């Protein structure tokens, strides 16, 4: 099963590299990050065994960490993104 996950990750990496050469305008970054998030989720769930753990606390820690990172990134951009001067 690990080999299947490995293959999936390699394929998604190749897709990421090649799709960067296609002009999608602003969506290039979105697509790249969506694929990256998919890859990261696969690593967390399968390689790090989170899909198979019975420990609720592990998932709480992961969700919390991501939540706080999102606060850092979104509130910072809410500041800089709403400034009129450049």
Partner 1 sequence: MEQQKHAASLGMWLFLATELMFFGGMFCAYLIYRYSYPVEFGVGSRTLNLPLGAANTAVLICSSLTVALAIRAAQMAKRTLMVVLLLLTMVFGLTFLVIKGFEWAEKYEKHHIPGASFQLSAEDMKGVSVDPENMQDFQQRTQTFYSLYFAMTGLHALHMIIGVGLFLYLTYAGWKGQYGPGYYTPLENGGLYWHFVDIVWIYLFPLLYLIDRNLQK
Determine if 62 is a binding residue for partner 1 (CB under 8 A).
yes
Site for partner 1 in 11-40 (CB under 8 A): 13-14, 16-17, 20-24, 28-29, 32-33, 35-36, 39-40
Give me the sign of the Cα torsion angle 49, 44, 46, 50: positive
* Residue 18: closest CA among 70, 10, 54: 10
Q: Residue 70 class from Cβ within 10 Å (0-12 exposed, 13-18 middle, 19+ buried)? A: exposed
Which residues sit at the interface with partner 1, rule CB under 8 A? 2-3, 5-6, 9-10, 13-14, 16-17, 20-24, 28-29, 32-33, 35-36, 39-40, 43-44, 46-49, 55, 57-58, 61-62, 64-66, 68-69, 72-73, 76-77, 80-81, 86
């Amino acid at each position: 099963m690990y080999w299947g996950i490995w293959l999936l990750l390699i394929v998604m990496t190749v897709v990421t590299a090649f799709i960067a050469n296609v002009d999608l305008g602003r969506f290039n970054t979105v697509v790249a990050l969506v694929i990256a998030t998919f890859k990261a989720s696969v690593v967390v769930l399968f390689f790090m065994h989170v899909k198979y753990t019975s420990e609720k606390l592990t998932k709480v820690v992961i969700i919390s960490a991501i939540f706080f990172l999102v606060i850092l990134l979104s509130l910072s951009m809410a500041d800089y993104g709403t400034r009129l001067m450049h």
